Chains A and B, each alone.
Chain A
Amino acid sequence: MRLVPEPSIERAGDKPRQSFERLARAELARLYAIARRLAGDEAEDAVQECLVKAFERFDQLDDLDAGPAWLARILVNCCHDRGRARSGRPREIAFEEVDDFSLYRKIALEDPYPYSDSLHLDFLGGFGREDVREVLLRLPDLYRIPLVLVYMYGFPTKEAARILDAPLGTVLARLHRGRKLFERQMWDYAEETGLLEEGATR
């Protein structure tokens, strides 16, 4: 039996501004973390912009339970616009080589740590949080955004489809390719930055 009621974002007598602030504060950590993975060093600006835009449109949100996904949607658009505005293009990726890439098989084949009993776990263990962020930032938005929403921040695929305003099938296809791209870029990153050599000498 629950003796203490669930904390609710909406409280009787709340003014819209207070309701918004409560929602925003409850979601702030997640919004910032998502922004770090989508907009890199521009995360703070993206979250600021998201908060201002969301507050301006707060009267359009009918159901406060949908608030977290609604905020995520606004943030994703802010991050995406920033990505478009940046002059640099993501590195070229040969998709035809990526679709059948398997990081599992690549690690087994290349055997970077010959003395290890847990080759695959050792490979993953070499990556710090910053390394993962760097790898993610190499992916085009189209694939990075669903990957981050679903696998890092636990949005169900249907909710991710609503956030991205795309059909579910499209999001599932992007997730598939996004995973392959991420695996491929993890391997390339490990080779380029010397993570493989570091792991081999541990």
Chain B
Amino acid sequence: MPAHPDLSDRRSAGAERRSDNSGDEYDVDGVVPATVVRPTSTEEVAEALRSAARDGLRVVPRGHGTKLTWGMPPSGVDVLLDLSALDAVLDHAAGDLIVEAQAGAPLAELQRVVGQEGQRLGVDETVAGATIGGTLATQASGPLRMSTGTMRDLLIGVTVVRIDGVVAKAGGRVVKNVAGYDLGKLMVGSFGTLAVVTEAVFRLHPRPEVQRWLRVPVAGAGEAWERTREVLHSQCVPAALEVEWDGDGGGLLVLLEGREAGVAARARTVIGLWGDTAAETEAPHQCYPWDAAARGDDRSTATKLTFAISGLADVLRTARAAPARVRVRGSAGVGVVYAAVDGSTEDVVATVRSLRETCAGHGGSAVVLDAPSEVKGAVDLWGDVPALDLMRRLKDRFDPDHRLSPGRFVGGI
């Protein structure tokens, strides 16, 4: 599709426009955009969207593209909205424990800025290079979610641009605030299908003085749950409680955070519970069990499994018994783990189905985040989605013509 004349004018507004169609850099899971627009402000995003609206163009927002292949490929992309130039950490109010940043700011950069004052945003960088906006849109989370939650819990204010180019804000710059609808929550995990987030305000937490990881090997699924239960029910206040699991067994890891004396005392409690095979260990190197840098058919089928906490043993058993190879890593302590599923498409699909059944039996779900295109074509990525009708109605209000990230999300939204 030819670029709209108005979009060509973006350059005059300060935005950088590309149209060399360099598919390998700017494609969205294989779908190549006709035009790339790189706005530098919320107002430029609004202009770009207004302009796209005039011609009925389909738009996909992008940060650093580290999770752009998650979800289904869009049904089409006329304009790729590259938000990486909106990369400023705008304001860190240390005394108020809040930070305001643009959506394209790298999470690591934000952590560096707030870290200078001994603070942190309580969310892990699950994929190297991730931006604020991408982390928010996918609700990506790592081990820390056990103590500080996810973007859902940390986002306190948001600026969005609607598909019709209208700029709107919700929330604010204070943690405690119940004025108006919490639009931020709707944006978190929406895969860029409701509106384009351009700025966000987050609550921060103090960075702990001491962090210590302990690991205990586990052989069986029942043992993994027993170890999990012991820690959850103890008084050792874990900041994270992770499980690692592949065909041959695995381990449980606990993160203790706080002050030196307190952490030491709680580490003794954990060792008392877990026994002599428990030992101090280094922080895990990655959040996900798959290679996040893999592309195309080299990708594992990356799956997010959720369940009521006590469902852990069943989930691990299902993973072990599955026809495909399944490696699991994630937050046993909250009932959210990730599985890398590898094998023939047929085996992968069968495995996703059996994991889905087990998770559903424990009040949760199995969502395929990313996968080779053949797998994406063979399995419903999202599984059963309750209240889908309401979600469609919401989408229809925000994006009546279905031009924003079309087809990427649940139910073809």
Are chains A and B native binding partners rather than an unrelated pairing?
no
